[in-house]
Amino acid sequence: MQTRRRSEGDAAGTRKRNDSGGSMAISSTATTTTTTSGSTNQSGRHNHHHQQQQQGQQQPASKGDLLGAGLDARIARRVSLDSAEAAGHGHYLKCRYPRCDATATLAEARKTFKSCHNCSHLYCSRECRRAHWERHRKACLHSRVSALCRLVLSTCKDDADTLRHLSVLARRGYLSQGRGVVRILFRSPERADSFIKQGFQCLGEVSYVRWPDLLPAEMGPELYSELLKLSTEYKPDSKMLLYVAICVVSEAPGSATAPVKWERQLVSRCAKLKLCRTVVSEIVSGPGAGERPGPRPDTVGDVLVLSFNILSKTTQRAREQVSQNVQTVLRQRGVNLRKHYPEVYQRLATFVEGSTDRFLPVTLHPRDTATGRSFVCIVMPNYGDTERVQFPVSENGDDRVVTVDVGADLGDDLTSKL
């Protein structure tokens, strides 16, 4: 995970400056993928309980494109033999699949070589293109759209109307729900580009997400852990957390029966920005400054964190203990992991067997049979003390956070720990 400061040159020079200071941006190296088969009309569907229906139409772009006129061309399918020639060896092209040594002249390549569906990588055959896709997909999609996420974050900081709108949403969300993240979703790279060019009028779907409701499966474990850390550290009276997600629908090499399939991925980044100065002034001068009202009853709940350490030489007995404790803790609340969450149970079983050394964080929203109320359960591994995640502390009667080390011997006093 890398943390960097954006330069002011990332933003458009013609956009009016806001009254905010610097920012910190963190990139996600993981994406969430859903694979479908069929026609391109499937690209408009993406379900998430934090999303809302986008309204209105995107206005055509005219000028001020920060990505240049080549964005649409880079997203569309194309063959770039000219660029391949410039980077190749003389007048010969080599298949981009590392395990293939096939070469061809430019004339031959124009006739026989196959291009990546989304970029200019060239392959000698469909088989090589299909074999290289799993390794190539991250660089092909993530690097391009991740750069777009950076520009979106830069625009949020530099566009005064957008910054004020997000600041008000962040402040209201904190006052009513506690610590959380302002989530901005764009259903396509083109919509994100329209926001970069036209500002607030083309802002994506915005919502406030409480930190217990963040989904590691959506953003990847690295960004999820980073957002949890930032949720603990940021100062709600002067800062806010932004989480930008761009949905990418792309062609991917399929099988012989289905030559082309469509993949849907979310590429995301997050940043910590200063609130708009006018919002900060209202906080300082307003009645009850510095005091936060009690949370609404419907937003208060329990957050159960089941954490455990994963060392380089974790024994199978230790893994079995983790699995047993997780199931025991949930069973005391009336949740049968094997029955109610079979996918998570299977992942845990695979981890116990030793088939994998990593267990990615997972968030569940079960219902406690004793109280009839839903609660949040986060199963979070820690890879050493340096990567241990500190969860946000309950503030003024917010969510009651209970952390249980399921890697330890809980014994008979488990009830006292809950």
DSSP string over 328-372: HHHHTTT--HHHH-HHHHHHHHHHHHTS-S----EEE--B-TTT-
Which tens digits make up the pLDDT trace of 347-368?
899 988 887 777 888 888 898 8
225 plus 174 within the same structural domain = yes
Type of residue numbered 281 = S
Does some domain include residue 176? yes
In terms of Cβ atoms closer than 10 Å to its own Cβ (0-12, 13-18, 19+), residue 220 is buried
* Residue at 198 is within a domain: yes
Q: Does residue 185 sit in the same domain as residue 231?
A: yes
pTM, 2 dp: 0.61
Encoding tokens for residue 86? Answer: 């410039």
Question: At 75, is the pLDDT very low, low, confident or very high (cuts 50, 70, 90)?
Answer: very low
How much of the chain exceeds pLDDT 70, in percent?
64
Nearest to 242 by CA among 165, 174, 153: 153
Average pLDDT for the chain: 74
For residue 219, give both structure tokens: 């953003």
Same domain for 171 and 280, yes or no, is yes
What is the pLDDT at residue 38? Answer: 36
Q: Does residue 91 belong to any structural domain of this protein?
A: yes
Q: What pLDDT, in 10s, does the model give residues 147-169?
A: 899 999 999 999 999 999 999 99
Tokens 């004793």, residue?
370
Whether 7 has a pLDDT exceeding 60, the answer reads: no
- Give the domain-ending residue among 60, 95, 130: 130
What's the pLDDT score for residue 5? 38
Q: Please report, as a single letter, which amino acid is at residue 298.
A: D
**Looking at the domain assignment, is residue 49 inside a domain?**
no
Q: Poorest-confidence range of 73-77, 344-348, 350-354?
A: 73-77
Q: How far apart are CA 358 and CA 80, in angstroms?
A: 39
CA angle 408, 411, 416 (to 5 degrees): 95
Extract long-range pairs of 407-414: CB within 8 Å, 24+ residues apart.
407/307, 407/308, 407/309, 407/318, 407/321, 407/322, 407/325, 408/325, 409/321, 410/325, 410/328, 410/329, 414/328, 414/329, 414/332
Asked whether residue 10 is assigned to any structural domain, the reply reads: no
User: Are residues 190 and 302 both part of a single domain?
Assistant: no
Q: Answer whether residue 226 is part of any domain.
A: yes
Tell the residue number behind the tokens 């957050």, with chain if given.
303
Residue where the block lists tokens 């479908």: 36
- pLDDT given for residue 83 in this prediction: 44
**Given a cut of 60, is residue 272 above it in pLDDT?**
yes
Same domain (yes/no): 271, 308: no
Cβ burial, residue 88 (10 Å; 0-12/13-18/19+)? middle
Domain termination site, one of 284, 316, 335: 284
Number of domains, the chain: 3
Determine the pLDDT at residue 68: 42
Residues 175 and 103 in one domain: no
Check if the beta carbon of residue 208 is closer than 8 Å to that of residue 177.
yes
Does residue 343 sit in the same domain as residue 406? Answer: yes
Fill in the amino acid letter for 291.
Answer: E
Q: How far apart are CA 383 and CA 403, in angstroms?
A: 17
Assign 185 to helix, strand or coil. strand
Contacts of 191 (CB under 8 A, 6+ apart): 54, 58, 202, 204
Q: What are phi and psi of 170, to 5 degrees?
A: -65, -40
What is the DSSP-derived secondary structure letter of residue 179? S
Which residue type sits at 363?
T
Residues 219, 280, single domain; the answer is yes
Q: Is the pLDDT confidence value at 185 over 50?
A: yes
Three-state DSSP class for 236? coil
Q: Convert the pLDDT of each residue in 87-103 to its tens digit.
A: 444 578 899 999 999 99
247 lies in the same domain as 373: no
Q: Rounded to the nearest 5°, which phi and psi values hold at 330?
A: -70, -35
- Of the two residues 383 and 236, the one the predictor is more confident about is 236
Backbone angles phi, psi at 31, to 5 degrees: -130, 160
Range of the domain at 241: 15-38+151-284
> In terms of domains, do 306 and 410 share one?
yes
Residue 50 lies in a domain: no
**155/262 same-domain check:** yes
Say if 141 falls within a structural domain.
no
Q: What is the pLDDT of residue 256?
A: 62
- Higher-confidence residue: 109 or 299? 109
336 and 235 in a common domain: no
Q: Is the pLDDT of residue 196 over 90?
A: yes
Question: Given pLDDT bands bounded at 50, 70 and 90, which one contains residue 107?
Answer: confident
